[in-house]
Amino acid sequence: MRLGDVLYEPGAGLSHVYFPTTAIVSLLYVMEDGASSEIAVVGNEGLVGISLFMGGQSTSSRAVVQAAGHGFRMQASVLMQEFNRGGPVLHLLLRYTQALITQMAQTAVCNRHHALDQQLCRWMLLTLDRLGSNEIVMTQELLSTILGVRRAGISEAAGRLQHDGLIRYERGRISVLDRPGLEARSCECYAVVKNEYDRLLPALKAT
């Protein structure tokens, strides 16, 4: 999975689902005028393509790789066969879906009510939880698309966080220097999402 790769487009049929392992995928809602904003992020805790087993054959969002890495791809028919058995896989997928819905709802609230600095902190913390390092490789263009703001706004917000010693921001790369400080700077939205994932998917937290 390469940075910027598009796994799904809105309205496309789902022939496969994806289980990121080291990659991270951003789910974006795309407006009629082409503008977009991230509604959720998926890493090694989940899968891309929940619309398949939630009753639809297509998705309303665009799925874009936001951190390069690897993952597994499974045919939709194979997943549905296992889902329809009604066993542990079904219950795990439904718990994950509940956690993902919480992330989507909290992202919508955050984008409406909190400052861009706080939104950027929330996004970086959610990304770090799904990475094996404190460095995020991300183009400014893709980050502005994910947060739904102008690139100048991203530069200003990142500059303030760098000035306060929380991150080091270079073109295409963000290094987190002070995670506790980043958590303190973030709004409550990050904690709400993380707590829900930990509650619903405790086995994944343990690993």
Q: What is the CATH number of the domain that holds 144?
A: 1.10.10.10
Rounded percentage of the chain residues whose pLDDT exceeds 90: 59
| Tokens 């329809």, located at residue | 84
DSSP-based three-state secondary structure for 87: coil
Whole-angstrom distance, CA of residue 133 vs CA of residue 24: 13
Residues 129 and 79 in one domain: no
- pLDDT tens figures, 75-112: 999 999 999 998 899 999 999 999 999 999 999 888 88
Least-confidence region, from 26-30, 55-59, 96-100: 55-59
Q: Which residue has the tokens 């009629």?
A: 32
Percent of the chain with pLDDT over 70: 98
Same domain assignment for residues 66 and 135: no
pLDDT of residue 203: 67
**Mean of the pLDDT values across residues 141-159?**
85
Q: What is the pTM of this model?
A: 0.87
Over 90: is that where the pLDDT of 141 sits?
Answer: no
Tell me the residue range of the domain where 186 lies: 113-207
Asked if pLDDT for residue 137 goes beyond 80, the answer is yes
Same domain, 123 and 187: yes
Please report the pLDDT score of residue 204 as a whole number: 57
The residue ranking higher by pLDDT, 35 or 7, is 7
Residue in the block written with tokens 């079904």: 90
Model pLDDT, residue 206: 43
Q: Provide the angle, in degrees to the nearest 10, between the axes of the packed helices 151-163 and 116-128.
A: 80
* pLDDT of res. 205: 55
Neighbours of 40 (CB within 10 A): 25
Distance CA 121, CA 90 (A): 33
CATH code of the domain in which 63 resides: 2.60.120.10
Judge whether residue 142 has pLDDT over 50: yes
Locate all alpha helices (DSSP H) within 7-87, ordered by sequence: 76-83
